[in-house]
Structure 1
Amino acid sequence: MWSLQAAVILTCVAFCVALTPVYVNTAVGHIMGFQEQITLDGEQKLIYKFLGIPFAESTGGRNRFRKPVPKAPFTKTFNASKEPVACYQQSEQHNALYRYYGVSGFSEDCLTLNIYVPHELRASDLRPVMIWVNGVGFVLGASTVYKPEGLALFGNVIIVSINYRIGMLGFLRDQNGVFPGNQGLWDQHLAFRKTARAREFFASLHILIGANDKDGCGYYFLYQDALNHSTLDFNITKDDFTNTVVPIIVDSNLLPEDSNTKEALEKILSFSYTDWNDPDSYVSIRQNAIDLPTDISVFSPASITVRAHARLNVGKAYLYEFAVQTRTHNLPLPSWMKGSNQGKTNYSLFSFRCVRRVMLGNPNIPMDIKQFTNTVWPAYDVTSQRYFRISDQMSPASVVEGFYPRRMTLWSDVIPEIRRQHCPDKKQPDILVGSGAALFERRFALVIFILILLRWIDEEV
């Protein structure tokens, strides 16, 4: 759609100190971005930015709670040099949080994408493209919070980050079909189509997917309030876990239809997330209190997605768990928590240039990945289900077979069956079926990297 093969006109204005405009001529009209010099590892690097390009019409008015409407072609040059607004967050408190992170404002006219192009832009260049989909439980998120310039330049890849509707505006659904639901996922789907020519999009691309090992750490704030502790360094008893932690997870994530379903879900989760070799161990209880929300919001959706892709047997998939013991955290956390959590993977995972390798279909080449990991990263398949556990000490043991199979089966098979048994007449939430039979579960709540080997194109899909 927005062709980076198009001719580029650089215009340097003598009195313009900060920005040098960059113009591209595309099938949807003229777009003006800008070039910027940034410092990376002590060196000056040139990057081109095109910010806030709309891929859909406003989602307000008659378009509210509907599938996104593709944006009409521009009738004049579109100014893509300004930071875009974000979609409305779940609450005003969340809006305030993202203002603190630098978001300029919020609107229902928010379906935009940002393009970051490394080095000099030439018509003959073909670069791999990486799409960044932010994910904070589908209730928070904005494309501009994440700064991908370093990754684009270091990996020599084009990065596209997108906005999509979240919270009520992104996922409201009713019983009679007036509000179809999953609007936010359809927003993502349209953004993908605007980026890629491939009709069989999901099946044909190579993907890298995974999550941090402690991504459920944010729930510790809820546990702290519910258990009335003044600090985060507290122990959770078995009774606390059964009577407080598990109900918090069930009520905030599973939304049980009635008291019987709620009781059944709480019992199966209490049983499944107990170390029965030492059920009263504070160490195992607090680990399970993190594993439970990590599984429901991150690990299970990642597992479901990578299995769906692998069954299509076209593109390759690589699954990882990021378990590096980071020295700093984005959130205040208990002193005992040493793993990686929300936002800590970001771009550090790709600092050994695995980005371009995955886009070429194999993260182990062209440079021998063993120099950094002491082992080979295998592609995921439905039989062995091998994944890469990235930690401080990489070795052949970092390749693990079976991605927490007991826990993943609980979420993919057992929990849905419990809900069906208790509410046989109630239709379960739909999944989104996209190009190439791509399956995205409704709670696809993770920070996901979708890596595509493609070229920018001139026409709309």
Structure 2
Amino acid sequence: MFGISLFLLYILFSCGKCSEVKVETKLGEIIGEKTDVTFLDNNYQVDRYLGIPYAKAPVGNLRFKKPEPAEPFQEPYHATKFGAICPQFEFLSKGPNTFVQSEDCLFMNIYVPNQAPDQSTGHAVMLFLHGGGLSTGTGNQYQGEILSSAGNVIVVTINYRIGLFGFLHMNDDRTQGNYGLWDQHQALKWINENIEEFGGDKNRVTLFGQSAGSFSVTMQMLYPQNKGLFQNAISQSGTFSMPFLTFDDGDTTAKNYAEAAGCSTENNDEIYNCLMEFTIEKPSEIFLNAMMTGGDSAMYKFVTLPIVDGEFLKRSADDLHKAALTDDVEELNFFRSINLINGINEAEGAFYLMSYGAMDQLEDLQISREQMNNEIIPSLFSMVFGFNRALPEVVKNMLISEYTDWTGQNDPLKLRHQVVRANGDIYYNAPGVAFSILHANSTESVSYVYTFTAITDLPLLETPSWLNKANHGDELGPVFGYNWDYLQWFNLTEYVVPAWELDLSSRIITYWSNFAKSGDPNLPTASTQSAGPWPRYTVDDQKYMILDREESTGQFLFAKAHDLWRNIIPSVMEVVEESQETSCEKFSDQGTCEKDGVCDGE
């Protein structure tokens, strides 16, 4: 009886019963609309304000610049439809995409419940950062009416610059990078300055996100100038501890784009002028052409990522983890002052199956032993340790042994499961555990960890039937109360959400909104599950919550993967490389080393 049909959702969100609502802000009057929603037989009213500009349009001379604060409205601003999304290529949508793209895309959407707040200071506020690999996505896809009303919190979603326009850097003062991160920071400042007029409590702000949005959340936790702008964070499947998500320096990517556009690349002036002339469609055209004609290796030439710029990011994740052992680090102190929920889905590595083809190909996917040993294992090693470090034979054998199902070591159907596990370990599992241990090693705040294991009826990503585990992004439906545009996301006009998934959604919304209100997922509303309270995560016992049809608790989530990739293999690598260096010095003393450092006798 709890099923939600698309027809009912259409009736609820067609806004036939919408009425105008107004709020007076420091920037001027904003006009939104009141709408009705239903979730689990409960009827709610929500005020929604869509497409509010939180910064000046980053166009013209503001391209490749930090965002500037939005200017006051000259007349009442009608916030009744979504703003344009940032330039990108389409990725996840399976149905018609009606969003308009524009470089003028720094908009936010605010959802306010028509209920008394839990505290006299106003509603707790939750700001969501969308995923999409820092190359795609929009806050418009995540409609916050149900999370806002069922959780009794204000929900905010935003667009931020992505791709070339969000992260270009050329090692000079004109293009310093990290514009998408600065956009997120500007949105936090806007909320701090204006959310009280919407009934929000600016001192109870939770920043949450998924995938690249989750990675962004953890980046914001490293920027001390965010102090006072948010107090809690929820990272869903992504952290700054993931490999290869920041650059230390380099302008190669900018040069690659200019070359692909047919521009001269003799110097930075020519490259910069070329990129300033790009249409909003040009970066996506170049990126997709590289992907279609040259595969992953060609595509990576056009990937733009955050940079260690000395201002927003002062050091890489590896350097931060090392500094945490001995130094008093300002950004680490701020990071540990934020209350945290960190989550990892059961089979995050399934996200990378899409590189093996379309859905019909994934259903029949088989991985050979030769492919696993000589292609997949070496490539995973390189993603963690860099493409310039050789894979020692002893380390290769260790990894082959680890990612083998010994009940069928050469079975191509079992090996495909090992591919999922290995990708999950290097990108999410081991880094996620390292991230939570780094945070929990403090008394300034509290840490919580979950793993999402529920096998949902309609996975967000293409997931073959043989996997039968929770894929990357599967928790998003429950978090937002299944408030999807099903036609755009799944190309479906008829769908009924299973009753058990709605029950799970209700519990997750309670955990998330509790945390936003109190910094504790258990308070103020107790869970209806028999699992007991969600335990705190500490370095010693590493307890966590398992989110499924029925909740339960566990200990030492992905501890083996963490120990393998963060401790054992680095230690073996150090011994091997020291041994090779000693051997080379020995032969060098005998005059038998070649100019490139290769020694006779090795």
Alignment TM class, shorter chain as reference: 0.7 to 0.9
1:219–1:263: structure 2 CA closer, same or farther, 3 Å change rule? farther
Per the alignment, do residues 362 and 219 of structure 1 end up closer, same or farther by CA in structure 2, a change over 3 Å counting?
same
The aligned runs of 1:138-217 (5 Å cut-off) are 138-176=134-172, 178-196=174-192, 197=202, 199-200=227-228, 201=230, 204-217=337-350
356, 377, 382: which one aligns with 1:223: 356
Letter in 1 for 2:417: Q
Q: Distance in 1 between matches of 2:554 and 2:445?
A: 21
Stretch of structure 1 that moved more, 110-119 or 194-203? 194-203
State the Cα deviation string for residues 368-402 of structure 1 (Å, max 9, x = none): 43x414233112223333222223454xxx43333
Is 1:235–2:363 an aligned residue pair?
A: no
Instruction: Read off the aligned partner of 1:362 and give its amino acid letter.
Output: D
Does the CA contact (< 8 Å) of 2:446 and 2:536 recur in 1? yes
> Is 1:294 aligned to 2:424, yes or no?
yes
Alignment partner of 1:130 out of 126, 129, 143:
126
1:101–1:145 Cα contact (<8 Å) kept: no
User: Could you tell me how far 1:301 is from its partner in structure 2?
Assistant: 5.3
Does the 8 Å CA contact 2:405/2:414 hold for their aligned counterparts? no
One-letter amino acid matched to 1:404: F
Change (3 A) 1:257 1:67: farther
Specify the SS of the correspondent of 1:372: coil
- 1:68 to 1:257, Cα distance in 2 relative to 1, 3 A: farther
Question: What is the Cα deviation at residue 35 of structure 1?
Answer: 0.7
> Which one of the candidate residues 519, 522, 529 is aligned to 1:361?
519
Q: Residue 374 of structure 1 aligns to which amino acid in structure 2?
A: A
Q: Give 1:48 shift.
A: 0.5
Contact 2:451 2:545 in 1 (8 A): yes
Pick aligned residue for 1:376 from 533, 539, 542 = 533
RMSD of aligned Cα (Å):
3.8
Change (3 A) 1:102 1:263: farther
The Cα offsets for residues 297-330 of structure 1, whole Å up to 9 and x where unpaired, read as: 4445544544454345333232111011223323
Q: Does structure 1 residue 405 correspond to structure 2 residue 535?
A: no
The C-alpha deviation readout for 1:199-241, integer Å capped at 9, x for no partner, is 344655433231322233232231247xx98452333222222
1:104 paired to 2:99? yes
**Percent identity of paired positions between Structure 1 and Structure 2:** 29
* Equivalence for 2:49: 50
C-alpha distance in 2 between matches for 1:301 and 1:381:
16
| Distance in structure 2 (CA, Å) of the matches to 1:192 and 1:272 | 47
Give the aligned partner of residue 351 of structure 1: 506
Residues 223, 245 of structure 1: 8 Å contact kept = no
CA shift at 1:47, angstroms?
0.7
- In structure 1, list runs of 5 or more residues that go unmatched: 1-15, 423-461
In the superposition, relative to structure 1, how do residues 99 and 323 fare at CA in structure 2: closer, same or farther (>3 Å)?
Answer: closer
Q: Residue 274 in 1 paired to residue 421 in 2?
A: no
SS for the counterpart of 2:57 is coil
Q: The residue matched to 1:245 in structure 2 has which SS?
A: helix
Paired residues of 1:118 and 1:156 also in contact (CA < 8 A): yes
Partner Cα separation in structure 1 for residue 512 and residue 45 of structure 2: 19
After superposing the two structures, state which structure 1 stretch, 139-148 or 165-174, moved more.
165-174
Query: Take 2:398 and 2:529, find their aligned partners in 1: how far apart are those partners?
Result: 38
Q: CA deviation at 1:405?
A: 3.0
1:340 aligns with 2:473: no
AA paired with 1:70? Answer: P
The question of whether the paired residues in 1 share the 8 Å contact of 2:55 and 2:68 is answered with yes
Between 1 and 2, higher relative CO (CA 8 Å, sep ≥ 6) is seen in: 1
Taking structure 1 as the reference length, the TM-score comes to 0.72
Letter aligned with residue 354 of structure 1: Y
In the alignment, the residues of structure 2 paired with residue 383 and residue 137 of structure 1 have an alpha-carbon distance, to the nearest angstrom, of 33
* Cα distance in structure 2, aligned partners of 1:232 and 1:402: 32
Distance 1:389 1:106 in 2: 39
Asked if structure 1 preserves the Cα contact closer than 8 Å seen for 2:46 and 2:114, the reply is yes
Question: Which deviates the most, 138-147 or 268-277?
Answer: 268-277
| Superposed displacement of residue 414, structure 1 | 8.2
Q: 1:55 to 1:62 in 2, by over 3 A?
A: same
The separation in 1 between residues aligned to 2:472 and 2:98, in whole angstroms, is: 19
In structure 1, the residue matched to 2:84 is 85
Aligned partner of 1:63 in structure 2 is: 62
What does 1:23-38 correspond to in 2, within 5 Å?
23-38=22-37
Conserved 8 A contact 1:48-1:121: no
Matches of 2:65 and 2:347, distance apart in 1: 35
Equivalent-residue separation in structure 1 for 2:531 and 2:21 (angstroms): 43
Q: Higher helix fraction: Structure 1 or Structure 2?
A: 2
Q: How many correspondences in the alignment?
A: 394
- The alpha-carbon deviation at position 267 of structure 1 amounts to 4.4
Q: 1:408 to 1:53 in 2, by over 3 A?
A: farther
2:365–2:416 contact (8 Å) kept in structure 1? no
Give the AA of the match of 2:513.
R
Structure 1 residues 421-442: Cα deviation after superposition (integer angstroms, max 9, x where no partner): 99xxxxxxxxxxxxxxxxxxxx
Native 8 Å contact 2:37 2:43 kept in 1: yes
- Mapped to 2, the partners of 1:389 and 1:134 lie a distance apart of 23
* TM superposition shift of 1:142: 0.9
Matches within 5 A, 1:236-275: 236-246=367-377, 256=386, 258=388, 260=389, 267=396, 270-271=399-400, 274-275=403-404
Say if 2:365 and 2:413, in contact at 8 Å, map to a contact too: no
1:3 match: none
- Structure with higher Rg: it is 2
Q: Secondary structure at the match of 1:86?
A: coil
The SS at the match of 2:157 is strand
